[in-house]
Structure 1
Amino acid sequence: MGLLCRATLAAFVVFVAFSVYKFRELTKPIDAPTLDLDEYWGPGKKSNYKENTEVVENKFFIPDEVIDSLRKDLNRSFEFQAPLEGIGFEYGFNTVYLQKVIKYWRDEYLPKWRKRELFLGKWPHFTTNIQGLRIHYIHTRYDIPPKGKKVFPVLLLHGWPGSVREFYDMIPLLVNNADSEYAFEVVVPSLPGYGWSQGSAKPGLSATEITVIFRNLMFRLGYKKFFIQGGDWGVIIGSNIATLFPDAVLGYHSNICWSHGLLSMIKTTIASYYPKLFVPEGYEDFFFPQSEKFKFLLEESGYMHIQSTKPDTIGAALTNNPVGLAAYILEKFSTWTNKDYRKLSDGGLEKKFTLDALLDNIMIYYLTNSITTSQRLYAENSNASVFSLPMERVQTNVPTGCARFKHDIAHALDWALKDKFANLIHSTYHKDGGHFAAFGLPKVLYKDFMEFVEKVVKLNNL
């Protein structure tokens, strides 16, 4: 072998060895970061802040003049551009259907607002101050525990553009289901900056930092161990709580199973060549073809890029603009429920939801003026400090459950999930439903969650 050949071979061996080394370095599990459990997010200096740990019960009442002002805005004449011929929701919210939503909102929803207000206040609502922020949450607690049932606390976590309203049809199943041997004391917080929860006055309140706030909330309420169920941002926050505070979590259940690390991408690519080896028969189309799934994510992620870079700009456009707010938010409830609904002139919005339910959610954003602060979470989760804490590589060892709803925006294989969730004990597939499972299919999600709880109880002799 000539000198040049030997040198080339040696260089190749070094390159391969270095590549293997770097791959292992980039994919091996890392230790959990240590976070400040008292990080201050309120206005002004922490030195001037003394935390009031009082829990305050809240009652809903929106003054008539606020509703009258909204009605006046909805009474305006709107000169929308007509949708293109043959187009449903492919270009965004169909303006013909938008006129119907405006009319319903003005002429049927607002006249019964006091009934909707009572409905929104049907569960006990509270606020308390944590780390400088006023945090809102729903909390159901038994005065007398139901006989013959095991009672567990559960933390339910929503995302964007949702709210605590998403769980209203699931809460009674958890609290009052006579057919179940389990009952739950339910805590449903509004994320900081969402609904009635105060937004941060300082940059840096990412999903990782919110983890600490909600851990502190549960501890304040007296729950040292609890279940978690979450979707959208609730997936990341719930996963982080289970990862960073494993001693506090009985089990973590998600209806969106994501894994975005390098190793996950490699495994998904390998599985795409032999799907039947990695996916239960009949569910291959949840994951493949990859090109189709990537195309859908690319088409539907424009909002994320705006909110991750200029949340205050789009927030200013939507503030005091109820029609724009409704179009911007409701379009997500169409496309993320089923991408094929884009072909429909009404976006399929009333296939899984009622207009009353959808407008309840819009009203929460409108009445609390929280659209801008809610969108800032995307920017806070996209900065360098978050990327320096790669939570994807910190293993989660608590019992984990994954419920996949076919039309959600993304799914991860069990093979990939197990690198992150080492104790994945529950994995299911549902051929109906999409991103907003608690809102659109509460009974299905409840049943899946209960199956997971049963497995955890047996596994840990609870």
Structure 2
Amino acid sequence: MWLEILLASVLGLAVYWFASRDKEETLPLGDGWWGPGARPTAPEDESIRPFKVETSDEEINDLHRRIEKARLTPPLEDSRFHYGFNAHYLQKVLAYWRDGFDWKKQVAVLNRYPHFKTRIEGLDIHFIHVKPPRLPAGRSAKPLLMVHGWPGCFFEFYNVIPLLTDPKAHGLGGEHVFEVVCPSIPGYGFSEAASKKGLNSVATARIFYKLMLRLGFREFYAQGGDWGSLICTNIAQLAPSHVKGLHLNMAFVLRGFHVLTLLLGPRFRRLFGYTERDVELMYPLREKMFHSLLRESGYMHIQCTKPDTVGCALNDSPVGLAAYILEKFSTWTNSDFRDLEDGGLERKFSLDSLLTVIMIYWTTGTITSSQRFYKENMGRSFLSEPHERMKVQVPTGFAAFPSELLHVPERWVKSKYPKLVSYSYMPRGGHFAAFEEPELLARDLGKFVGRVEGP
């Protein structure tokens, strides 16, 4: 017993030491060129061009032919989603995709918001820019950058945007009205992919920071989950004076001293700053942390090492692409969905919405370039980059959704984001927060901004 107390004390002091180092550091802004060939000597065209999503009968007919030729392997009896995407349910998805899904109609849905492109560091960067339809007298809109992750895209934010740009009309009050900018990460969807190695989250953060400046925003809020949380974090590390606040629904803070506290967490909960809710979400440790990571991280190893190999198959087969991506929308929404024959996909999403995400990857041919983002960020020097050790010195809010892949306690978040002003245990929801629970996310974002700006 005394040995355990001594060990816990040492670990507690180590946690305190790490958490108390609040160095005011920033990342060097730098510059880059990601287009083909050498950087031209002429100044880059900084114009902002309107863009529309388009399709054609030829594109749709080619898709249908490929779906019709699909070769599926029958699933094992009673395997549900434990072996991956269940082929019986996949047949239902394919039948709807072929005979019920209206891509032209969904293209019109995508064009509901204004799309643009602009050239930054040699790449055509796509984004949507949505302004409030109305503003209360004497109020101005708050600029908000929202960044997606993998295997998502800008479309994830379509249901939360009206709650942010016109909150009063949706019963959320009119105190905080946002002007929303949602870019596509380079190599995702309609943003051009890099021609050179090395375009990681920091380079992307610099590109999006330049985008916001180009749009005339000297100060803005940033929000993200998955890769979006890391990119927005990097923006705050690059240009903290320009980021009024940072709101996240995922945080990359799993470092050594946190892992050590996990082992004694239930017994010394208060010493390590764990709440009862933290313990519920993290324990039993073997199942909720280690087994969960092993089950859900196979794709990551592939994409961190050889993304182009699997990319060849996925970029050639819409059926394979759909199974690969939609399986994540099942288990990352709720791990218990593995126990269902249909993966629980239609409990949170419509097939129209899910297939729209797939179509954005399919029609742009960007699955391989999107997967390369893993290799650029994690395939070389994982957990050794300067930004991974650097604290974030801007006001931060965090929404902890209970079905996220890994729960991050408030103490952990605060160790990297010492100016944490809002931490919320969300009542439901998983990895794709804006897509799954737009109202919960919008309300928490409004609460966070209220605390940043005060009465």
TM-score by length of 2: 0.91
Determine whether 1:127 maps to 2:154: no
Q: 1:301 aligns with which of 262, 280, 297?
A: 297
* Aligned equivalents of 2:444, 2:403: Cα separation in 1: 17
> Which residue of the partner structure matches residue 7 of structure 2?
none
Matched to 2:120, the amino acid is: I
> Which residue of the partner structure matches residue 9 of structure 1?
none
> Which residue of the partner structure matches residue 13 of structure 1?
none
Q: CA deviation at 1:142?
A: 5.1
> Which residue of the partner structure matches residue 165 of structure 2?
175
Worse-superposed segment, 257-266 or 321-330? 257-266
Determine whether 1:107 maps to 2:61: no
Gaps of 5+ in 2: 1-12
- Indicate if the aligned counterparts of 1:251 and 1:400 stay in contact, CA closer than 8 A: yes
* Aligned equivalents of 2:336, 2:132: Cα separation in 1: 43
Counterparts in 2 of 1:379 and 1:400: CA distance versus 1, 3 Å: same
Gaps of 5+ in 1: 1-19
TM-score by length of 1: 0.89
Counterparts in 2 of 1:52 and 1:424: CA distance versus 1, 3 Å: same
Partner of 1:275: helix, strand, or coil? coil
> Which residue of the partner structure matches residue 393 of structure 1?
389
Partner of 2:199: helix, strand, or coil? coil
Determine whether 1:62 maps to 2:55: yes
Q: CA deviation at 1:25?
A: 9.6
Determine whether 1:53 maps to 2:43: no
- Indicate if the aligned counterparts of 1:257 and 1:404 stay in contact, CA closer than 8 A: no
Counterparts in 2 of 1:390 and 1:265: CA distance versus 1, 3 Å: farther
Matched to 1:88, the amino acid is: R
- Indicate if the aligned counterparts of 1:253 and 1:452 stay in contact, CA closer than 8 A: yes
Q: 1:93 aligns with which of 72, 85, 94?
A: 85
Counterparts in 2 of 1:348 and 1:144: CA distance versus 1, 3 Å: closer
Q: 2:408 aligns with which of 404, 407, 412?
A: 412
Q: CA deviation at 1:269?
A: 3.6
- Indicate if the aligned counterparts of 2:237 and 2:392 stay in contact, CA closer than 8 A: yes
* Aligned equivalents of 1:135, 1:207: Cα separation in 2: 15
Deviations 1:347-382 (A, max 9, x none): 000000000000010000001100000000000002
Q: CA deviation at 1:390?
A: 3.3
- Indicate if the aligned counterparts of 1:267 and 1:416 stay in contact, CA closer than 8 A: no
Q: 2:64 aligns with which of 67, 71, 82?
A: 71
* Aligned equivalents of 1:34, 1:306: Cα separation in 2: 29
Counterparts in 2 of 1:343 and 1:144: CA distance versus 1, 3 Å: closer
Q: CA deviation at 1:327?
A: 0.2
Q: CA deviation at 1:272?
A: 3.7
Matched to 2:207, the amino acid is: I
Q: Which has the larger radius of gyration?
A: 1
Q: CA deviation at 1:338?
A: 0.6
Deviations 1:154-213 (A, max 9, x none): 000100000001000000111112222111110000001000001111101111211111
Partner of 1:154: helix, strand, or coil? strand
Q: CA deviation at 1:143?
A: 8.3
Partner of 1:103: helix, strand, or coil? helix
Determine whether 1:265 maps to 2:255: no
Q: 1:185 aligns with which of 179, 184, 189?
A: 179
Counterparts in 2 of 1:388 and 1:340: CA distance versus 1, 3 Å: closer
Q: CA deviation at 1:31?
A: 6.6
Aligned residues with identical type, % of pairs: 44
RMSD: 2.3
Determine whether 1:159 maps to 2:110: no
* Aligned equivalents of 1:37, 1:144: Cα separation in 2: 38
Partner of 1:60: helix, strand, or coil? coil
Q: 1:361 aligns with which of 352, 357, 361?
A: 357
Partner of 1:182: helix, strand, or coil? coil
* Aligned equivalents of 2:151, 2:256: Cα separation in 1: 28
> Which residue of the partner structure matches residue 446 of structure 2?
450
Counterparts in 2 of 1:177 and 1:25: CA distance versus 1, 3 Å: closer
Q: CA deviation at 1:270?
A: 4.1
Deviations 1:6-35 (A, max 9, x none): xxxxxxxxxxxxxx99x9799966674643
Q: CA deviation at 1:403?
A: 0.5
Q: 1:147 aligns with which of 117, 137, 162?
A: 137
Partner of 1:135: helix, strand, or coil? strand
